[in-house]
Amino acid sequence: MAYRARIGSETYVFADLKSLMARATPLRSGDALAGIAAGSLEEMMAARLALADLPLSTFLSEAVIPYEHDDVTRLIIDAHDKDAFAPVASLTVGGFRDFLCSNRATTESLARLSPGITPEMAAAVSKLMRNQDLILVASKCRSVTRFRTTIGQPGTLAVRLQPNHPTDDPAGIMASIIDGLGYGCGDAVIGINPASDSLTTISDLLHLLDGVITRFSIPTQGCVLTHVTSTIRLIEQGAPVDLVFQSIAGTQAANASFGVTLGLLREGLDAGRSLKRGTVGDHVMYFETGQGSALSANAHHGVDQQTLEARAYAVARAYQPFLVNTVVGFIGPEYLYDGKQIIRAGLEDHFCGKLMGLPMGCDICYTNHAEADSDDMDTLLTLLGAAGVNFIMGVPGADDIMLNYQSTSFHDQLYIRALLGLRRAPEFEAWLQRLDIVDATGALRAGGTSPPLLQAMGDYLP
């Protein structure tokens, strides 16, 4: 079905829903690379006018990728909760935006609504919203998940401690873990991106994480971010797996490029839960996403990258994840060119995921060849903190020496906590207080890292 809108004396025609969505999207390099971006600001505004008048129910009858050709589309349609959708079923996309920004949209009403919101609905309304709208609405959305810590409660912010090493050296990894714990990081997860895909190496890293968590009774979870098939094999071999990780995308073909299917993700979920290693909950899945992944795999079907990113959240939602992380600037300037595009994408991703009921975090990051710098990341960190992001990254010095990109440091989370009064996960903060790393307010004590952690460093370092 074609869609039309008039700007001045010119009428703009959009051939179908995916074309309308693409042309309405704020400018980003990935859509321009794919040849689907608006050709002018006038065309972009015409698309937004047409999109604003589109009934939300259209997304239940017209798919951006055909139902018959894509299992993600089938998941979206088949899992849609019509009862949850009913309160907004009569609205247009523009009317939905007005509702979300109003006082009628409360934390409680948005939680009830989330199962009825498809990713295309979330993406569509985000295209009509200013940054302040994305922040305001996301701040009203809460998704609380539990494994050994409780993530996402009001007034809290968690951190993934990311101790990567270019050779998977245990001493180097352990040094970063001790450093991060000393700054109060690690309540989301201590998560290692391994340099090797060797099962032996990954198993050794899992035992390293389990050893330090067990030895010091740290209420957190470890994860080695390897392929889900490797994790399943290691679970079968008795490895101490807490969270099951996988990168996912918003189309069947893009997920196939990652070597995953929806059925395989279900196997990972079942395998992770079978170990019963959680103490306060059984959310065991950890997913990472990023705008541009489907385009880089030539699996985008002509759909804009932000809509495809939201579709990845529909995949994540099906497996009750503990963490969902948009690695927003990692793929590079071919997809998000500069700081402005990265900031906008981070706010969009967080908004769409939270609106759909997900525990959203963000790797606030950029590659060294992007037109971005740490000031841009400070801006996005501040905006996401105000928007209620569940977790961020803690990387030594903000410079990941294995993945070669720039993220947020152990110090950065101290800034946003001080600015907004954000606490850590309650179980983890109580542990930090017992070890005298933080005081009763959650602030770091002046003495530095506690003696038990210094002893652990001595055990693992030359």
- DSSP code string of 392-421: EEEBGGGEETTTTEE--BHHHHHHHHHHHT
Banded pLDDT at 448 (limits 50, 70, 90) = low
Range of lowest pLDDT (41-50, 294-303, 447-456) = 447-456
Annotated binding-site residue? 288:
yes
pLDDT beyond 80 at 343 = yes
Tokens representing residue 98 in the block: 């007005």
Distance CA 266, CA 316 (A): 11
What's the token pair of residue 168? 């998977």
55 is in an annotated binding site: no
Is 145-452 CATH 3.20.20.70?
yes
- 7 C-beta neighbours (distance < 10 Å), count: 16
Q: What is the mean pLDDT of residues 122-127?
A: 98
Q: Is 60 exceeded by the pLDDT of residue 462?
A: no
Mean pLDDT score of the chain = 96
Ranges of CATH 3.20.20.70 domains, the chain: 145-452
Q: Could you tell me the sign of the dihedral formed by the alpha carbons of 298, 304, 310, 314, in that order?
A: negative
Q: What angle do CA 365, 319, 297 make, to 5 degrees?
A: 50
246 is in an annotated binding site: yes
Average pLDDT on 137-164 reads 98
- Backbone dihedral angles phi then psi of residue 151, each to the nearest 5 degrees: -110, 140
Q: Which amino acid is at 329?
A: G
> What pLDDT score was predicted for residue 67?
97
Question: What is the predicted pLDDT for the residue at 439?
Answer: 94
pLDDT at 461: 60
Q: What is the pLDDT of residue 1?
A: 84
The per-residue pLDDT for range 20-50, each reduced to its tens digit, is 999 999 999 999 999 999 999 999 999 999 9
Distance of alpha carbon 290 from alpha carbon 362, whole angstroms = 10
For 229-272, how does the pLDDT look when each residue is reduced to its tens digit (9 = 90+)?
A: 999 999 999 999 999 999 999 999 999 999 999 999 999 999 99
CB neighbours (10 Å) of residue 350? 29
> What residue type is 380 in one-letter code?
L
Tokens at residue 110, please? Answer: 């948005």
Region 106-132 average pLDDT: 98
Dihedral of CA atoms 248, 253, 258, 264 in degrees, nearest 10, equals 70
Q: Would you say 57 and 89 are in contact if contact means Cβ atoms under 8 Å apart? A: yes
What pLDDT, in 10s, does the model give residues 151-183? 999 999 999 999 999 999 999 999 999 999 999
Angstrom CA distances, 209 to 131, 168, 206, 219, 296, stand at 38, 13, 5, 12, 33
- Is 402 marked as binding a ligand? yes
Contact 19, 36 (CB under 8 A): yes
CA 224 to chain centre: 17
pLDDT of residue 460: 62
- pLDDT value, residue 454: 65
Residue 459 has pLDDT above 80, yes or no: no
Q: 152: which 2 tokens?
A: 């996402």
CA distance 205 to 6: 59
Domain 3-140 has CATH 1.10.220.70: yes
Does 61 appear as a known binding residue? no
Angle at 190 between CA 186 and CA 192, to 5 degrees: 145
- The predicted-structure confidence for 283-293, as pLDDT tens digits, reads as follows 999 999 999 99
325 in a known ligand binding site: no
Which pLDDT band, with edges at 50, 70 and 90, does 447 fall under? low
Count how many Cα atoms sit within 13 Å of the Cα of residue 241 in the half-sphere of its side chain: 34
For residues 47 and 41, what is the distance between their CA atoms, to the nearest angstrom? 10
363 annotated to a ligand binding site: yes
Phi, psi at 430, each rounded to 5°: -65, -40
Q: Where in the chain is the domain with CATH 1.10.220.70?
A: 3-140
Does 202 score more than 70 pLDDT? yes
Angle at 162 between CA 131 and CA 137, to 5 degrees: 20
Quick one: pLDDT at residue 8? 86
pLDDT at 449: 61
Could you read off the pLDDT of 400-437 as tens digits, one per residue?
Answer: 999 999 999 999 999 999 999 999 999 999 999 999 99
- Tokens 């006038």, located at residue: 42
Residue 210 marked in a binding site: no
DSSP state of 366: B
Q: Enter the pTM of the model.
A: 0.97
* Percent of the chain's residues with pLDDT above 90: 95
Query: For position 446, what pLDDT does the model report?
Result: 73
Helix (H), strand (E) counts: the chain: 22, 14
